Amino acid sequence: MKKLTNLTLVIIFFIVLGGISFADERPPIDIMMAVDVSNSMAQEIEAVKDYINNELLENYVQIGDYLLIIMFYATTEVPVAISIQSEADLQTAKQAVAGLQANHDWTDIGNALDVLKLHMDAQSTDQRDKFLIIITDGEQTAPWSKYTTPDGSLNHELLQNAYTEIAKEGWKVQFLVSGGSDMIKEMAEKISGTYTEISEEPTGEELSEKIQEPGGMVKISVQPEKVVVTHGGEAVLPLTLSCSGFTKEQSINVNNIMFYSNKAGELNILKSGYELSIQPDETKQVEIPLQFPAALAAGDYKGELLFSFGSQALFTPGRIETQVHINNLFENYPWIIPVAILVVIALIILIILLILMRSKARTLNFKLLVEEEPLKEGKDTFSIKIGQVLYLNESLDMFSIAAKKSLRSLAKLTGQQGAIKFELLREENMPNVKKMKGNILGEKLEVLTSSGKKMHITMRK
Give the number of other Cβ atoms within 10 Å of residue 375's Cβ. Answer: 16
What pLDDT is attached to residue 16?
A: 39
β-pairing verdict for 283-291 and 194-198: unpaired
Fold of 219-332: Immunoglobulin-like (2.60.40)
Task: State the CATH class of domain 24-215.
Answer: alpha beta
What pLDDT is attached to residue 1?
A: 43
CA distances from 73 to 115, 131, 196, 203, 299 (A): 12, 21, 21, 22, 49
Provide the Cα torsion 242, 118, 47, 148; round to 10°: -110
Yes or no: say if 305 and 320 are a contact pair by the CB < 8 Å rule.
yes
Residue type, 251: S
The residues pairing with 217 across neighbouring beta strands, listed in sequence order, are 244
- Cβ neighbors of 229 (< 8 A, separation 6 or more) are 235, 290, 292, 296, 324, 325, 326, 327
What pLDDT is attached to residue 293?
A: 95
What pLDDT is attached to residue 7?
A: 43
CA distances from 262 to 159, 170, 301 (A): 20, 23, 8
Rounded-to-integer distance, Cα 134 and Cα 109, Å? 10
Rounded-to-integer distance, Cα 334 and Cα 352, Å? 28
First to last CA, the chain: 137
> Is residue 13 classed as helix, strand or coil in its secondary structure?
helix
CA distances from 442 to 1, 377, 398, 430 (A): 145, 19, 20, 17
CA angle 98, 101, 106 (to 5 degrees): 150
β-pairing verdict for 250-261 and 274-278: antiparallel
Alpha helices of 101-232 — where are they, by DSSP H?
109-123, 160-168, 182-191, 204-210
From 387, 388, 394, select the one nearest 411 (Cα to Cα).
Answer: 394
Task: Give every residue of the chain whose pLDDT is below 50, as ranges.
Answer: 1-24
DSSP letter, residue 322: E
Compute the half-sphere exposure of residue 421: CA atoms within 13 Å on the CB side of its CA.
Answer: 11
What pLDDT is attached to residue 14?
A: 39
What pLDDT is attached to residue 9?
A: 41
Helices 160-168 & 109-123 angle (0-180, nearest 10):
40
pLDDT digits (tens, 9 = 90+) for 104-132: 988 888 888 888 888 877 765 567 889 99
- Cβ neighbors of 322 (< 8 A, separation 6 or more) are 223, 224, 225, 226, 227, 303, 304, 305
Yes or no: say if 190 and 165 are a contact pair by the CB < 8 Å rule.
no
What pLDDT is attached to residue 435?
A: 63
